[in-house]
Structure 1
């Protein structure tokens, strides 16, 4: 079996149930959601690649603010010398996050990645406000729906007759708006009237990494829509190239 095929077969798709997510999303209570490290199919980890990965991580930290919450990078150590090894990485902050909080989130993630995946040649880790991905294989500009996790909040959809329709309408609108946005980002809200308990508002966010094409952004979000548990009182799907989420509370700062 080839190295690439082995990676594809062993990529972990995890369904992650998140309860009690805090409503106030400041950097102080930003929480880790999920992580995936590389597999045993990878090439052996070594000090040369460790240094290449470190250069990528430093680049992400120092440039994430000036690039409006998204940065991709590739570096090799030693630079321009035979025997060097390339490392590739990207970081994405939710577009409503303040620049300082964005940088803090990325720093936290990179430190956590070193703890979770100390000798893995690839990894991805998500927090509430940002995510970081790295690899020794060039993934930049390539849609990633293989790295994935989702969450949902248990609820009785029978309590909200119009809930599923509202969630479907909201996520569809978010997808269209995000794809048309230069930032590949959208946030919106949708009021649900006929609940039997009075009206309430549904809030949602959609976002893609800005290294992929418009068509790939739409494909990624369309895939997220199909995976989203729209009968729940809150749900989210997070890929390596996009994310889509809705809640019955306002979780963004926009």
Structure 2
């Protein structure tokens, strides 16, 4: 076996580019791609030729199948399975140009690979050496953002979650039978509107579409919470939001969102789960009651302290008076003492100590 020669690849790219409406190329932006780097098919000229044939066939069908088409090329064991999905609002010529550009790019980005997937802002192209039809796939996937922080991130995240949940419910049951696609706008404030989009490949069931979108939205909220834009790209679904328009606002045959409020959402965010909000009136009542209790407590403490001090002062004064009276009762005139001791007669002296002599009192009990 031998590799596809360079002339064949150049010819394929030239064929794809020759069908472009170059005026639309400026509207096409490559977002991301994955290649089967671990499984290359170097030397398998049959499989490589089938990939080229697949891309050529998909390109011719890009304007005929309402934005989605899947097919195969070649025979087993070298059969190639491929599909494309254009964004639900993309015009047929935009879809064709996007698929042609994706096919030309993937030849250069993923040469000789057994599978690859590439996303643009207007389309997705995917091929594999195994069947990829009618089955929901979530790997590989990627989440991207412009990394611009939103004002009031908590309230913005709430709005994103509400809107994305709504379109994830409506997209699987879109009125168009060939498109699982839905968009919605919601006003965030006087200067910003949230634009959101959800889409699945039409070949999977409504249940699988809903499950895929739920996982994609969960990735957006986990990795990109608080950002003004987010893009979650899975093989079977896409979820996007942004604060500037990125899709056509005049669409027919799609799941229509309800009319969004025309005035800004000015309600404050609710408290965290498990906690109840407290109104301003309740806060004022609590503050006034607390301050009143503190003032009354301080007043009572001052009154009780003053009374205790006054009582203590009165008690001390009374004790001083009693001591003075006791001292006064122990004092005698000298004439009384001389009479009692017969002028300090030695016969009346009964002893002596450090404070002086001690005499007995000879006065009778009635004196």
TM-score (norm 2): 0.57
1:186-229 alpha-carbon deviations (Å, 9 max, x no partner): 01101124xxxx35210011100112111111111010111012
Whole-angstrom distance in 2 between the partners of 1:179 and 1:44: 40
Q: Tell me which of 180, 188, 191 is aligned to 2:187.
A: 191
Indicate the larger mover: 168-177 or 32-41: 32-41
Q: How does 1:98-247 map to 2 (within 5 A)?
A: 98-157=91-150, 159-181=152-174, 182=177, 183-193=179-189, 198-228=190-220, 229-247=224-242
1:27 Cα shift? Answer: 3.7
Whole-angstrom distance in 1 between the partners of 2:54 and 2:196: 31
Higher strand share: 1
1:40-84 alpha-carbon deviations (Å, 9 max, x no partner): 24565511111211222122111121110101111215xxxxx76
1:169 Cα shift? Answer: 0.8
| Contact map agreement 1:45 1:120 (CA 8 A) in 2 | no
Stretches of structure 2 that go unaligned for 5 or more consecutive residues are 1-22, 250-367
Instruction: Evaluate the alpha carbon distance shift between residue 84 and residue 137 of structure 1 in structure 2; reply closer, same or farther with a 3 A threshold.
Output: closer
Stretches of structure 1 that go unaligned for 5 or more consecutive residues are 1-24, 78-82
Whole-angstrom distance in 1 between the partners of 2:204 and 2:214: 15
| Contact map agreement 2:41 2:112 (CA 8 A) in 1 | no
Greater length-normalized contact order (CA 8 Å, ≥ 6 residues apart): 1
Q: Tell me which of 43, 47, 50 is aligned to 2:48.
A: 50
State the secondary structure of the residue aligned to 2:117.
strand
Indicate the larger mover: 52-61 or 241-250: 52-61
Whole-angstrom distance in 2 between the partners of 1:56 and 1:209: 18
Indicate the larger mover: 170-179 or 35-44: 35-44
Whole-angstrom distance in 1 between the partners of 2:43 and 2:141: 24
1:167 Cα shift? Answer: 0.5
Q: Tell me which of 64, 83, 86 is aligned to 2:79.
A: 86
Per the alignment, residue 9 of structure 1 pairs with none
| Contact map agreement 2:80 2:127 (CA 8 A) in 1 | yes
1:14-34 alpha-carbon deviations (Å, 9 max, x no partner): xxxxxxxxxxx9542311111
Note if 1:251 corresponds to 2:251. Answer: no
Instruction: Evaluate the alpha carbon distance shift between residue 123 and residue 67 of structure 1 in structure 2; reply closer, same or farther with a 3 A threshold.
Output: same
| Contact map agreement 2:63 2:92 (CA 8 A) in 1 | yes
The structure whose Rg is larger is 2
1:93-113 alpha-carbon deviations (Å, 9 max, x no partner): 101111001101100000000
| Contact map agreement 2:144 2:232 (CA 8 A) in 1 | yes
Q: How does 1:23-62 map to 2 (within 5 A)?
A: 26-41=24-39, 46-62=44-60
Indicate the larger mover: 198-207 or 43-52: 43-52
Whole-angstrom distance in 2 between the partners of 1:101 and 1:137: 28
